[in-house]
Amino acid sequence: MTSKDLTNTPFLQACRCEPADHVPVWFMRQAGRSLPEYRALRKEGSILDAIKKPDVSAEITMQPIRRYGVDAAILYSDIIVPIHAVGFGVDIQPGVGPVTENPFRSTGDLQRLRELDPIQDTPYVLETIKICVEQLDIPLIGFAGGPFTIASYLIEGGPSRTYQETKRLMFENPELWAKLMDRLTQICTSSLLSQIDAGVSAVQLFDSWVGALSPSQYIRFVFPWVEKMFKEISSTGVPKIHFGVVTGELLQLMSEVGADVVGVDWRVPLDLARDRIGGEKALQGNLDPAILGAPWPVIQDEVLTILKLNDGHPGHIFNLGHGVTPNVNPEVLERIVQLVHQFRVNQ
């Protein structure tokens, strides 16, 4: 099979802030529980086991593409996969998220975070990418968890509202925090580079919970590591998307750290986000996923408002402000894709 040139597909054009045929759209967590065909294929059992089966993961990646007609696919995997693969001792509990019985608390715990060798440790991820790339004629997005977000799961032992233990470690033992971030940065960087090598066309760094930090905390405890990660990936030329929620006060920093596309959640209007980020950067977002259960006219109005606030800027990838939740009716997402694709600036 000849390798496909996807350079001039709307999603990659928008990543480069170049005009495209239509505004591209995809949905975070599009591959997942809101699809009946996903539930039928996944059945019971750990998501981490499903991810280890490339034929299953590739099929789950493809399911939303067939149904929705989105402009990009996202690899079916999880941010915790590389950490699980190096043997830290972390699992994903249904309805909860990543959990660890022995949280990261002291220097000795660094031993549980050896370097990632993606070919040895996560061959199934690379195989899934290869199967998907064969089948797709739209770009495939690879991803990793941001070092803060991963660190928060390892330190807190599971999801948190306050990040108290994470912040305690940062301030009490900044040397250990730096070592932990070094390790996580190595793991995330080599995972992303291996995904690019296997054929993904773009990568997204999900630093989902980094909005828990103030700008000065971000500058001191996160910026240097994410900057290093993005620098190492830059040589590949693959666009880098940077995403988190509640990041209104961090948008500029999350751009300056080296992203090509900045994810915006629904709390910041898109025109204001563009002002904060400035320059020729693409934005991704930002429909509130919680309104997906509202009557269609409400959703339509919200979608059009976002598109109008973007005001025809070529660097816009339509998405939700966070992931699709399990109770969303897939038909709603299908209608949103059609609406976004039909939109023209002067309508």
In the complex, what is the shortest distance from the CB of residue 32 to ligand CP3, in angstroms, rounded to a whole number? Answer: 3
> Between residues 18 and 127, which has the closer beta carbon with respect to ligand CP3?
127
In the complex, what is the shortest distance from the CB of residue 99 to ligand CP3, in angstroms, rounded to a whole number? Answer: 10
Subset of residues 265 to 304 that bind ligand CP3, contact rule: CB under 6 A: none
Residues 246, 149: Cα–Cα separation, whole Å: 13
Among 35, 70, 74, 287, binds ligand CP3 (CB under 6 A): 74
> Between residues 41 and 298, which has the closer beta carbon with respect to ligand CP3?
41
Q: Does 31 bind ligand CP3 (CB under 6 A)?
A: yes
In the complex, what is the shortest distance from the CB of residue 269 to ligand CP3, in angstroms, rounded to a whole number? Answer: 21
267 is catalytic: no
Q: Does 36 bind ligand CP3 (CB under 6 A)?
A: no
Q: Does 78 bind ligand CP3 (CB under 6 A)?
A: yes
**Torsion angle of C-alpha atoms 76, 32, 6, 17, degrees rounded to 10:** -110
In the complex, what is the shortest distance from the CB of residue 306 to ligand CP3, in angstroms, rounded to a whole number? Answer: 19
Write down the number of H helices and E strands in the chain.
16, 9
List alpha helices for the chain, DSSP H.
10-15, 36-42, 47-51, 54-68, 81-85, 118-121, 123-135, 147-156, 164-172, 174-198, 215-221, 223-234, 251-256, 270-277, 296-310, 330-342
76 is catalytic: no
Residues 210, 222: Cα–Cα separation, whole Å: 9
33 is catalytic: yes
> Between residues 223 and 243, which has the closer beta carbon with respect to ligand CP3?
243
State the number of binding residues for ligand CP3 (CB under 6 A).
Answer: 22
**Torsion angle of C-alpha atoms 73, 77, 83, 84, degrees rounded to 10:** -170
Query: Measuring CA to CA, which residue among 307, 303, 308, 272 is closest to residue 288?
Result: 303
Phi, psi of 342 (to 5 degrees): -80, -15
Q: Under the rule (CB under 6 A), what is the footprint of ligand CP3? A: 28-33, 42, 47, 74, 76, 78-79, 92, 94-98, 143, 206, 208, 323
Active site residues: 29, 33, 42, 78, 153
